[in-house]
A = this chain, B = another copy of it.
Amino acid sequence: MHDLPLENVYQLLEPGPVVLLTTAHEGRRNVMTMSWHMMVEFTPPLVACVVSSADHSFTALRATGECVIAIPAVEMAQQVVGIGNCSGRDIDKFAAFPVTPRDGRAVAAPLIEECFANLECRVVDTQLVQKFNLFVLEVVQAWTDPQQAAPKTIHHHGYGNFIVDGAALSIESKMP
């Protein structure tokens, strides 16, 4: 995987893809599926996300203050749904699904080898955790897989209905 400059991170998350979120806590790694995330700042890249207190990952994220946001291409859609439909409380998802954990550089949560991008994150604000399960993260290290040159992401419309990235459209703009 190659380093991605941190100022480019927003270009990966702003389009709203379904992502995976990994944690590592008390010797156990876990991974969940997530669609409720948004950019908060360009640089340093800040990301807000909602991880339900009903999710097994909530405890790990809260306790360690670390996670990885891994972005899967459409080829992983079946695994993404499978990972979203079970809990790390009951099974080891890294054993149950064909996703390969890999050590990151800055955090203990694992990267996912098969994802085209991996963002190592630290929690920087927890003011809205109790009220809304809303965490603010800083992306401290970002990776992309040069072998996945034009990944198509998936966007969730509810109940396993996804829209896959379609055509590209370029319009001259002054906005980043």
Instruction: Give A15 Cβ to nearest chain B Cβ, in Å.
Output: 4
* A136 contacts B125, C-beta separation under 8 Å: no
Q: Which of A20-28, A29-37, A104-112, A115-123 contacts B (4 or more CB under 8 A)?
A: A29-37
* Count of residues in A whose CB is under 8 Å from the partner chain: 57
Known pairs A132-B136, A136-B132, A155-B16; A78 contacts B165 (CB<8 A):
no
Which residues of chain B are near A176, meaning CB under 8 Å?
Answer: 158-159
Instruction: Provide the bound-state CA to CA distance between A136 and B127, in Å.
Output: 13
Which of chain B's residues has its CB closest to A80's CB? B171
Known pairs A155-B155, A158-B176, A165-B166; A38 contacts B33 (CB<8 A):
no
Which single member of B35, B160, B169 contacts A172 (CB below 8 Å)? Answer: B160
Q: What would 21 A/B residue contacts be, using CB atoms closer than 8 Å?
A: A14-B16, A14-B35, A15-B155, A33-B175, A35-B39, A38-B50, A39-B50, A77-B169, A85-B173, A85-B174, A125-B131, A125-B132, A132-B136, A158-B176, A159-B176, A160-B170, A160-B172, A161-B170, A162-B170, A163-B167, A166-B166
7 further A-B contacts with Cβ under 8 Å, apart from A14-B35, A46-B132, are A15-B16, A15-B163, A38-B38, A84-B173, A85-B175, A159-B175, A160-B171
